[in-house]
Amino acid sequence: DDIAALNKTTFNSFKLLANDLKNVNNTLSQTTKILSEEISLHKTKIDDLLDRSENITSHVATISNSWPEYKQKVTSFDESLEKIEKEITLANSKNNMLAASVDQLKNFCIQSMGSIKAPSGEDGSVVPKPEANAAKQEVIKPSANATVKLQEPLKL
């Protein structure tokens, strides 16, 4: 009897142990499956990051190889910009000088026209000065090459 009871107790203990091992095995299987899926996702992300890293490395290498050319272009652009700024400054200066000359000429013409007084004849009619008529003719009739000079491009 004692052996049968011991045998039954041992058998029940083995059954409990088998159930416990089965539960542990199921839990470990589920954990392994979950971890396997996570590893797969992380592997995909790591592969993507490696590809991106390779692309970035490639772009950096391309930029590094092209940098001297870009630097030279920027330097040339800066030099051209300085030259153009000097030319603009010179053109503005000449434009200001031209405007001042035009103003002086305008004032001179106004003063000259104001200082010419036409003499009056005995009957009160105005007698024009011969010099004024000659000056008017010179102003009215420009020289033949004046229009040619106007057609030439303005040189600063």
Q: Is residue 21 part of a domain?
A: yes
User: Alpha carbon of 82 to those of 29, 71, 116: distances in Å?
Assistant: 75, 17, 51
Q: How many domains would you assign to the chain? A: 1
Interval 32-80: pLDDT, tens: 999 999 999 999 999 999 999 999 999 999 999 999 999 999 999 999 9
Residue with tokens 């272009």: 73
Residue 85: name the closest of 74, 73, 77, 97 by CA: 77
pTM of the predicted protein model: 0.38
Q: Is residue 106 part of a domain?
A: no
DSSP assignment string, 130-148? HHHHHHHHHHHS--TTHHH
Sign of dihedral through CA atoms 68, 74, 78, 84? positive
List the domain range (segments joined by +) for residue 34.
2-84
Length reported for the chain: 156
Q: Is residue 61 part of a domain?
A: yes
Interval 135-148: pLDDT, tens: 444 444 444 444 44
Region at 124 (left for phi over 0; alpha for psi -120 to 50; beta for the rest): left
Interval 22-43: pLDDT, tens: 999 999 999 999 999 999 999 9
Q: Is residue 29 part of a domain?
A: yes
Q: Is residue 151 part of a domain?
A: no
The token pair that represents 113 in the structure block:
């026209």
Interval 89-134: pLDDT, tens: 999 999 999 999 999 999 999 998 887 755 555 555 555 555 555 4
* CB neighbour burial string for 30-58, b if at least 16 within 10 angstroms, e if fewer: eeeeeeeeeeeeeeeeeeeeeeeeeeeee
